[in-house]
Amino acid sequence: MLVRPHPHPGPLRGAARRLARLHIGRDERGDVPGWVLIVVMSAGLVAGLTAVAGPQLRAMLESALSSVGG
């Protein structure tokens, strides 16, 4: 018994095939600028928060450590 595929496989199956075709042979190095941007923005946020709330955060940390240390 020969089973034939449905003539209209549906939008999801067709989309999956198109995505697979796009991914075949794709160079992953093309995404490096995106990761660099994420890292630089994260570093900027940490630097900004440290500049604005550094003394308060340091006081909270010292208070928490002193209460635990006895």
Work out the mean pLDDT of the chain and round it to a whole number: 80
Strands (E), the chain: none
Distance CA 38, CA 18 (A): 28
Tell me how many degrees the CA angle 64-68-70 measures, rounded to the nearest 5. Answer: 120
pTM of the entire predicted model: 0.45
Per residue in 44-61, pLDDT tens? 999 999 999 999 999 999
